[in-house]
Chain A
Amino acid sequence: MTKAELLRAPSPPLDWKYAPSRESTEIVSLNERYGLFIDGKFQAPLSKKYFPTINPATEEPLAEVAEAGERDVNRAVKAARSAYDDSWGSMPGKERAKYLFRIARMVQERSRELAVLETMDGGKPIKESRDVDLPLVAAHFFYYAGWADKLEYAFPGLDPQPLGVAGQVIPWNFPMMMLAWKVAPALATGNTVVLKPAETTPLSALTFAALAAEAGLPPGVLNVITGAGATGSSLVNHGDVDKVAFTGSTAVGKLIRSSLAGTGKKVTLELGGKAAHVIFDDAPMDQAIEGVINGIFFNQGHVCCAGSRLFVQESIHDRFVDKLKRRLSTLRVGDPLDKNTDVGAINSAEQLAKISELVEIGRAEGAEMFQPDCVLPRNGFFFRPTLFTGVSQSHRIAQEEIFGPVLSIMSFRTPEEAIEKANNTPYGLSAGVWTSKGSRILWMADRLRAGVVWANTYNKFDPASPFGGYKESGFGREGGRHGLLAYLKGIT
């Protein structure tokens, strides 16, 4: 056909159906079964017990992992103690630093593999594990590596000494990132570690353990034991653990704190949240909409600092909610491995049930629910992005942490009222505020009782930036110079 004929020919009907763009899983090689990583090598559990870990997007099993019993915990703590006494505790900071720099580099080298693994085991969208989680993991190790031989400059007048063996329990929402937040500062300050990843997301931590061994990290410096609550409890209550670091729910945090009363162990807790996200009528609306979306639907809302309570100034409330609903309808929900997926799989059947229950309660209490009309995959655990309007402060969906893609919207008239409502929660992890007025940003930032305040942005993280809560969101900071203090002897 000539060019002229081509132009005259009737065009075929356009097919606008979505073409999936799936990340390959070939880069990941899984073992059928994983032992416990103790004293530099994988070991079969003395408990002889294993449990499966599944892909929450397909419900298919990925591998079996060991369930550490009390004797296994003993073994891990013993290995960590020996490593502390024999090598790590007295190693010059500059040598510790080089191990951590090396680990940071190796994480970067294997970043894609670890991102895919993270998405398979946890259900988060690949674009998040690839572009947010893994880059931050490498950055965190790189950041704290540099501190290892500079601790005397971090806190003038204090003699920086490690605590000993750190028992660390981390959640399933950011498995690798939480590992980095815990392990990097602990090792940089000269402590040794026994880490327990969450039972639904153990694979990246186990793979990381192998990577650390490959980096030449001395045996026992980092031990990874898998299991559920009982394993975590044995670890934090172990008599030879000097330091407990926990990230998870406020309820479990309180249990841990209670069981540690009188033991003299140093504790840091990073617990739940119910962040207020405040939108003033002079906010750049399109940017604020994106901020709100990122604030609550990032990682399916499985984020302790998620902006789950939205306060919109009354004068723009209706317009803002309309726009928000339209934006909600464009979110792509489904296969976490698809590079265009915005909202992936809910981490577990248990979490899905909890979210569903609270959403039902929201409806029963009289709030008005909106969900976009999206098709969810047949298998796996998924939940539609959800928002509630007509929410009052006493509603449970305005009080309790849902830890899912569910937003409760309320309104306010004056800045004073916004502060009053925003601070009306036992939590105090994070908050957000959108306005074009500089002085108002600073006025709000002063009064919001939260450890992190995002102004005209939301859900930003950086290893140099301290993170942690006020009130019942826990105590201690992770990240930055402040993050070192959690692992050093000092005034407490």
Chain B
Amino acid sequence: MSRLDVRKTYKLYINGEFPRSESGRTYPALDSKGEVLARVALASRKDLREAVRAARNAQTKWAERSGYNRGQILYRIAEMMEDRRATFEEQLGDGGVSAARARTEVAKSIDRMVWYAGWADKFSQVYGNLNPVAGPFFNISTPEPTGVVGVIAPRDPSLVGLVSRLAPVVVSGNTAVVLASEPQPMPAITFAEVLESSDVPPGVVNILTGSQSELAPWLADHMDVNAIDLAGADDKLRLRIEQGAVHNVKRLIGVDGVLDGQSPYLIAAFTETKTVWHPKGL
């Protein structure tokens, strides 16, 4: 008699825990042939608010850690991803990605995480300045994290898209609420398990599976979200996010729609430049 496999229940990732949606809702994640792979949590507005609250509570402490420390944690994420390569590849394959492409995508995702890990204690040196003002003043500009950032993860590529848009957000000290790829949510959930075992403090990254078009407007209107990465949103959703962002002057990043790229300027895009003046004198 062949052994019956043990299936996983796919849940949300909020504040370092894996709850089901408070709404009790799920939706089927399908493979490329339309077969049901599993039922995953369909997050609600209330789940989203919980996620934002967790992200807000975690933000100051995360930002107060040294860049060295955040860098090590991001590197640890890469280490744990390496461990889970097979799972990621399998899940990408289930979603219709060829084996060769899945291998490349997972490798690229891990390497990208390592790349951003290295920026943690460097980007403010590159992006900050001592400003040569015309007077007896010490004047310095440094980038600081914007705060709580909503990330509309790309539908496809579901893993490297997620890593590419999330890593530059958290590396500087922002915390994130991620709306995972709607049609291919499994790699995001595996990624959440990686985070949970990578010394990432609870609340720093929160991942919701469900309907992006249902959740993104709540995210856009939320007064305690400071910025949104909308690279993964389609035109209709983008317009809705832009309208919602008006209420508390949210920063909108990712309008160029690059889903799979890396740049220190993307880290800078999720920061605020603070300039400090002090007189010099005896």
Q: Does A271 contact B (CB under 8 A)?
A: yes
- A257-B249, A456-B278, A465-B141 known; A492 vs B242 contact (CB < 8 Å): no
Cβ contacts under 8 Å, B279 to chain A: 456-457
Cβ contacts under 8 Å, B107 to chain A: none
Compute how far the CA of A155 lies from the CA of B253 in the bound complex, rounded to whole angstroms: 18
| CB of B254, distance to nearest CB on chain A (Å) | 8
Q: Does A261 contact B (CB under 8 A)?
A: yes
| Contact B256–A491 (Cβ < 8 Å) | yes
| Contact A465–B277 (Cβ < 8 Å) | yes
Contact with B along A96-126 (1 / 0, CB 8 A): 0000000000000000000000000000000
| Contact B255–A465 (Cβ < 8 Å) | no
Q: Does A352 contact B (CB under 8 A)?
A: no
Residues 124-149 of B at the A interface (beta carbon under 8 Å):
129, 131-135, 137, 139, 141, 146
Cβ contacts under 8 Å, A264 to chain B: 255
Cβ contacts under 8 Å, B248 to chain A: 426, 471-472
| CB of A466, distance to nearest CB on chain B (Å) | 5
| CB of A133, distance to nearest CB on chain B (Å) | 15
Q: Does A378 contact B (CB under 8 A)?
A: no
The winner among B134, B141, B276 for most chain A CB atoms within 10 A is B276
| Contact A261–B246 (Cβ < 8 Å) | yes
| Contact B277–A460 (Cβ < 8 Å) | yes
Compute how far the CA of A155 lies from the CA of B252 in the bound complex, rounded to whole angstroms: 21
| Contact B131–A466 (Cβ < 8 Å) | yes
| Contact B129–A481 (Cβ < 8 Å) | yes
| Contact B276–A482 (Cβ < 8 Å) | no
Compute how far the CA of A473 lies from the CA of B266 in the bound complex, rounded to whole angstroms: 22
Q: Does A470 contact B (CB under 8 A)?
A: yes
Contact with A along B145-176 (1 / 0, CB 8 A): 01000000000000000000000000000000
Name the segment of A170-178, A358-366, A407-415, A444-452 touching the other chain: A444-452
Name the segment of B11-19, B27-35, B49-57, B267-275 touching the other chain: B267-275
| Contact B263–A491 (Cβ < 8 Å) | yes
| CB of A467, distance to nearest CB on chain B (Å) | 7
| Contact A462–B131 (Cβ < 8 Å) | yes
Cβ contacts under 8 Å, B272 to chain A: 428, 451, 470
Cβ contacts under 8 Å, B277 to chain A: 452-455, 457, 460, 465
Compute how far the CA of A462 lies from the CA of B141 in the bound complex, rounded to whole angstroms: 13
| Contact A455–B278 (Cβ < 8 Å) | yes
| CB of A344, distance to nearest CB on chain B (Å) | 24
Compute how far the CA of A492 lies from the CA of B35 in the bound complex, rounded to whole angstroms: 38
- A262-B242, A462-B133, A464-B132 known; A445 vs B276 contact (CB < 8 Å): yes
| Contact A139–B265 (Cβ < 8 Å) | no
- A264-B255, A457-B279 known; A464 vs B133 contact (CB < 8 Å): yes
Contact with B along A264-280 (1 / 0, CB 8 A): 10000101000000000
Cβ contacts under 8 Å, B273 to chain A: 451, 466, 468, 477, 482
Q: Does B226 contact A (CB under 8 A)?
A: yes
Main secondary structure of the interface of A (DSSP, over half): loop
Closest to A489 in B: B256
Q: Does B243 contact A (CB under 8 A)?
A: yes
Q: Does B251 contact A (CB under 8 A)?
A: yes
Contact with A along B238-260 (1 / 0, CB 8 A): 11001101111101111110100
Contact with B along A162-187 (1 / 0, CB 8 A): 00000000000000000000000000
Cβ contacts under 8 Å, B263 to chain A: 157, 491
Cβ contacts under 8 Å, B278 to chain A: 441, 455-457
Compute how far the CA of A20 lies from the CA of B272 in the bound complex, rounded to whole angstroms: 46
| CB of B82, distance to nearest CB on chain A (Å) | 28
Closest to A458 in B: B277
Compute how far the CA of A239 lies from the CA of B141 in the bound complex, rounded to whole angstroms: 35
Closest to B255 in A: A492
Residues 166-195 of B at the A interface (beta carbon under 8 Å):
none
Q: Does A61 contact B (CB under 8 A)?
A: no
Closest to B279 in A: A457
| CB of A269, distance to nearest CB on chain B (Å) | 7
Q: Does A353 contact B (CB under 8 A)?
A: no
Q: Does A372 contact B (CB under 8 A)?
A: no
| CB of A25, distance to nearest CB on chain B (Å) | 29
Q: Does A158 contact B (CB under 8 A)?
A: yes
Q: Does A480 contact B (CB under 8 A)?
A: yes
| Contact A465–B133 (Cβ < 8 Å) | yes
Tell me which of B139, B249, B275, B276 contacts A254 (CB under 8 A). B249
Q: Does A474 contact B (CB under 8 A)?
A: yes
| CB of A253, distance to nearest CB on chain B (Å) | 7
The winner among B235, B269, B273 for most chain A CB atoms within 10 A is B273
Cβ contacts under 8 Å, A370 to chain B: none
| Contact A482–B269 (Cβ < 8 Å) | no
| CB of A34, distance to nearest CB on chain B (Å) | 33
Q: Does A490 contact B (CB under 8 A)?
A: yes
| Contact B255–A269 (Cβ < 8 Å) | no
| CB of A36, distance to nearest CB on chain B (Å) | 30
Compute how far the CA of A464 lies from the CA of B146 in the bound complex, rounded to whole angstroms: 23
Contact with B along A232-274 (1 / 0, CB 8 A): 0000000000000000001001100110111010000101000
Compute how far the CA of A452 lies from the CA of B141 in the bound complex, rounded to whole angstroms: 9
Cβ contacts under 8 Å, B269 to chain A: 491-492
| Contact B256–A261 (Cβ < 8 Å) | no
| Contact B265–A257 (Cβ < 8 Å) | no
| Contact A474–B266 (Cβ < 8 Å) | no
| CB of A185, distance to nearest CB on chain B (Å) | 15
| CB of B134, distance to nearest CB on chain A (Å) | 6
Q: Does A475 contact B (CB under 8 A)?
A: yes
Other than the given A254-B246, A456-B279, A464-B131, 17 more pairs (CB < 8 A) read: A157-B263, A261-B239, A261-B243, A262-B239, A452-B276, A460-B277, A462-B139, A466-B141, A466-B273, A466-B275, A470-B146, A470-B274, A472-B248, A477-B273, A480-B275, A491-B253, A492-B255
10 sample A-B contacts, Cβ–Cβ < 8 Å, listed by A number = A257-B245, A264-B255, A453-B277, A456-B278, A462-B139, A466-B129, A480-B129, A480-B131, A482-B129, A492-B254
